Amino acid sequence: MKSQRTRLDRFMSRQLGIKRQAIRPIIAQGRIVVDGEVACDVQQSIHQFSHVIFDQQVIQNNRPRYVMLHKPRGVVSATKDNHHKTVVDLLDDSLDDLFDNNERDKLHIAGRLDFNSTGLILLTNDGRWSRQLSSPRNNIVKRYRVELEKPLDERYIFAFSKGMYFDYEGITTQPAQLEIISSHVSEVYLTEGRYHQIKRMFGRFQNEVLELHRLSIGALNLDPQLSPGKSRELQQREVTGIFDTGK
């Protein structure tokens, strides 16, 4: 998601429908208040969550939103789809009171899941937060439970830990951790999210993935009280705490 920061004069020019040159005297007259302080610089940075008042009228008052959803099978990880139910469609039942006006339309997905995969999905209107989650520099670990058609053995652990070369993209995946939970069930820890990555990695062993369920992103675990299709707003400690790197 692109940065939504802009200069104050550009922002007010768009909001008021006047030329940027006309904003300077307005600022000099103390008619613009940003985040509780009278603005005095045309170059002041305005972002999507800046609280802006002009002549005692609120011009912008966006609030950051962070939502955890338990994605069920058969739902598209998208905000809109002409043929299938999307994860945003699922919010209708549980979060109607949370959103004002068109806030729902501004949500995007921070980490998608395949159509038939299940588990933790995050939605937000905060592009900076979602970029931090996806940035390779932050090394955010995503944990998955995987049920397989054939039994597992130690070869899988070694192959995942070395990474695998994907010819289509011409890349080698980052090392991944695999733990064998039972004969046909494993947990996989990834720091990236290539196209169908887990299914393709197990595909090297001709072992079909029967179920793929995301348990956590960073330090944030899927709430066990959320049944499939249900969602809730994240608490502030969860929003910031997700970056506390654990395993």
In which residue ranges of the chain is CATH 3.10.290.10 found? Answer: 6-60
Whether pLDDT at 151 is above 70: yes
Query: Which whole number is the average pLDDT over 112-140?
Result: 92
247 pLDDT band, cuts 50/70/90, is very low
Mean pLDDT score across all residues of the chain: 91
CATH 3.30.2350.10 domain residues, the chain: 66-241
- Residue from 35, 41, 93, 114 carrying the catalytic annotation: 114
Tell me if residue 244 is catalytic: no
Beta strands in the chain (DSSP E): 6-7, 32-34, 37-38, 45-46, 52-54, 57-60, 66-71, 108-109, 118-124, 142-148, 165-166, 171-172, 177-182, 185-190, 209-217, 220-221, 231-233
pLDDT over 60 (residue 246): no
pLDDT tens readout for residues 226-235: 999 999 999 9
pLDDT value for 208: 97
Q: pLDDT-derived band of residue 93, with 50, 70 and 90 as boundaries?
A: low
Q: Which residue has the higher pLDDT, 36 or 169?
A: 36
Q: What is the mean pLDDT of residues 55-64?
A: 91
97-111 pLDDT, tens digit per residue, is: 566 656 677 889 998
- CATH code of the domain occupying 6-60: 3.10.290.10
CATH fold group of domain 66-241: Pseudouridine synthase (3.30.2350)
Q: How confident is the model at residue 168 (pLDDT cuts 50, 70, 90)?
A: confident
